[in-house]
Amino acid sequence: DAGVIQSPRHEVTEMGQEVTLRCKPISGHDYLFWYRQTMMRGLELLIYFNNNVPIDDSGMPEDRFSAKMPNASFSTLKIQPSEPRDSAVYFCASSLAGRSYNEQFFGPGTRLTVL
């Protein structure tokens, strides 16, 4: 299995530009999570989906952030417009339901730099 796939691995953009991060979860997994990691705040859950439906988006910092999951094999996290304080590593993770559903498999992350 290829694991969770994220693209791009690195993104450098200028303030005000739209940024789209992409994630392909592990086949068969029905939960998908988006996280943001910074030195100051550690790993923060932004939003998670179950069977392509958003369950909890309370971690999304503001309306500039949006996430979609149009099908079981693809999700996007969009920032529009981007700001320097959005610079961080963004991780996508997926897991299976059941008592062990909490075991999350993380992708390699996208390092975002907003100038």
Partner 1 sequence: EDQVTQSPEALRLQEGESSSLNCSYTVSGLRGLFWYRQDPGKGPEFLFTLYSAGEEKEKERLKATLTKKESFLHITAPKPEDSATYLCAVIGTYKYIFGTGTRLKVLA
Which stretches of the chain bind partner 1, using CB under 8 A? 4, 33, 35, 41-45, 48, 55-56, 91, 93, 99-100, 102-109
At closest approach, how far in Å is the CB of 15 from partner 1?
Answer: 25
Closest by alpha carbon to 83, among 25, 23, 31, 14? 14
Closest by alpha carbon to 26, among 101, 89, 79? 101
Token couple for 79 = 């920032």
Q: Which residue, 81 or 111, is less far from partner 1 as judged by CB?
A: 111
At closest approach, how far in Å is the CB of 16 from partner 1?
Answer: 28
- Vertex 17 angle, CA 12 and 21, to 5°: 60
CB atoms within 10 A of CB 1: 7
Q: Which residue, 14 or 103, is less far from partner 1 as judged by CB?
A: 103
Q: Which residue, 33 or 65, is less far from partner 1 as judged by CB?
A: 33
At closest approach, how far in Å is the CB of 65 from partner 1?
Answer: 17
